[in-house]
Amino acid sequence: MQHKVLFVDDEPNVTKALKRALHREPYEILSADSADEALEILERESVDVVVSDENMPGMTGCELLAVVHKKYPDTIRIILTGHASLDVAIRAINEGQIYRFFTKPWNDVDLAITIRQALQQKDLVEESRRLLKTARRQSAILQELEKTHPGLTSVRRDASGRILIEDEDDELDTLIEQITEEVTKAEEFFSQPLTKT
């Protein structure tokens, strides 16, 4: 699925300039002229990164990104402002948990690299969550197997770390024979011609 980046600025010329500067980037670019419009887009679209201007009528960029942080915590947030100040930076970090702070005029290359890094970080976090979920599911399966077959999941190793397999009373051979018999029976059953009843 293609990534989506949303630019929010009350000056349409700014969002147009951003679209032009980043038109070759491998993601879909969306734009909004206000914080309210941005929130409407976020309700209907899955957005990976929001880049917002700070000084906008109605709701500031910091306030918008604070809302995005609460409602869409996985969406990466970047502030873009023409009026940089320590107060704005602190608010953006504390309220919006921003990923990066840019000042206008921005450097196209720096912005493009930052957005790519943000998307890579988002992908890595999602992959980590997926792997963790898989590991937890596999662990639960192993615990269930251990309950019904105690000792099944215990592994003995020698001094070099190689796994030791004990073949007590030929249990493994017996199990293989039983499986082979069941497979043979199934093959015989399915190879018989169908007859009308």
Any idea which fold 1-192 has?
Rossmann fold (3.40.50)
List, in order, residues 6 or more apart from 126 with CB less than 8 Å away.
74
Predicted local confidence at residue 103, as pLDDT? 80
* Residue extents of the structural domains in the chain: 1-192
pLDDT over 50 at 197, yes or no? no
Dihedral sign, Cα of residue 119, residue 76, residue 42, residue 5: negative
Amino acid at 116: R
What tens digit of pLDDT does each residue of 111-163 get?
999 999 999 988 888 888 888 888 888 888 877 777 777 766 666 777 887 76
- Written as six digits, the tokens of 41 are 């887009």
Euclidean distance between CA atoms 14 and 68, whole angstroms: 21
* Neighbouring-strand partners of residue 49: 5, 76
% residues pLDDT > 70 (the chain): 79
Q: How many other C-beta atoms lie within 10 A of the C-beta of residue 162? A: 9
What is the distance, to the nearest Å, from the Cα of residue 135 to the centroid of all Cα atoms in its chain?
16
What tens digit of pLDDT does each residue of 19-59 get?
888 888 889 999 999 999 999 999 999 999 999 998 888 88
* Confidence category of residue 190, pLDDT binned at 50, 70, 90: low
Q: pTM here?
A: 0.67
The DSSP output letter for 83 is: S
